[in-house]
Chains A and B, each alone.
Chain A
Amino acid sequence: MSDAYEPQVLAFCCKYCAYAAGDLAGSMRLSYPANVKVVQVPCSGRVDILHMLKAIEDGADALYVAG
């Protein structure tokens, strides 16, 4: 077992800005840590408290909303 704690991070990203920025980073061949999982949302306003609770309930250690 590895000693290094690696939190599972969920990122809710707005289709029009944060997710688009992620796409751009991809085409620029920039990488981000593999423990960050990106979920595209139509608008960051779509993210509800229940989405966040369910994510934690199902094993996410941290999450952020970018938009």
Chain B
Amino acid sequence: MIIADRKPLEEILEMIADVDNIMLVGCKGCVTVCNVGGLKEVQILSSSLKIARKKADRPLQIEEVLLERQCDPEYIEQIRDTYDRYDAVLSMACGVGPQFLSEAYPGQRFFPTVNTKFMGGAVTHGIWEERCAGCGTCVIHHYDGLCPIARCSKSLLHGPCGGSADGKCEVSQEIVCIWDKIVLKKMEQGRLEDLRTFKPAKDWRSARDGGPRTSIREELVQ
């Protein structure tokens, strides 16, 4: 899923310093699962904003809304009758949400309340890690299911680099060197020879380097 972090309250307060009446829209998708933009987080942010604005002597009115998803037009439609009753609309979805909203309702102002970070999963309760960089041409079968594109700081196809030490990446002691893990796994499986196979340079045009991407499924297009 997509992992995001809530923006600091001060940053959100600054964005909406000139408005008095907002709609705060949560999303039941990824941001609910990573505890950043679901119902509970909408209520917490709403209450925190109201307290801060009351303290600053400029009370804020907030309508709390939760959409099934903010990355599908059919759910974005659900606020068509109400979106313009507010000075601004704040989205708690990933970066896709405020964009779908502002494309659907050009007359309104939309603000993000989270910083969208990566595609990953929860390795334990409360800790999420990056696993995929959406490169567009998956190659993890060459690496026993471990992705060097997303998980090696240099996205090396042949590794590790000279900076790998004690299983950690030279970029930071906090980063596990995935190449260390790939090599260990190959050794355990007796297939270290696999890594001698030369991999031609990856075609990054299928990744973000080729510009914004589109996915078309002909059978679904009417």
- B-contacting 9-mer, from A23-31, A34-42, A51-59: A51-59
* Minimal Cβ-Cβ distance residue in A for B47: A53
The tally of CB-CB contacts under 8 A between chains A and B is 17
Contact B51 A49 (CB under 8 A): no
Q: What string of 1s and 0s marks CB contacts (under 8 Å) between B30-53 and chain A?
A: 000000000010011001101100
Pick from A50, A56, A57: contact of B40, CB under 8 Å: A50
Report A-chain residues with C-beta under 8 Å of the C-beta of B48: 53
What are 17 A-to-B residue pairs whose CB atoms are below 8 Å?
A49-B44, A50-B40, A50-B43, A50-B44, A50-B47, A53-B43, A53-B44, A53-B47, A53-B48, A53-B51, A54-B47, A56-B47, A56-B51, A57-B47, A57-B50, A57-B51, A57-B54
> What residues make up the interface of A, taking CB atoms closer than 8 Å to B?
49-50, 53-54, 56-57
> What residues make up the interface of B, taking CB atoms closer than 8 Å to A?
40, 43-44, 47-48, 50-51, 54
Report B-chain residues with C-beta under 8 Å of the C-beta of A49: 44
Complex alpha-carbon distance, A50 and B40, angstroms:
8
Report B-chain residues with C-beta under 8 Å of the C-beta of A57: 47, 50-51, 54
Complex alpha-carbon distance, A53 and B46, angstroms:
10
Complex alpha-carbon distance, A54 and B47, angstroms:
7
Report A-chain residues with C-beta under 8 Å of the C-beta of B51: 53, 56-57
Report B-chain residues with C-beta under 8 Å of the C-beta of A54: 47
Since A50-B47, A53-B51, A56-B47 are in contact, a sample of 14 more A-B pairs with Cβ atoms closer than 8 Å, ordered by chain A residue number, is A49-B44, A50-B40, A50-B43, A50-B44, A53-B43, A53-B44, A53-B47, A53-B48, A54-B47, A56-B51, A57-B47, A57-B50, A57-B51, A57-B54
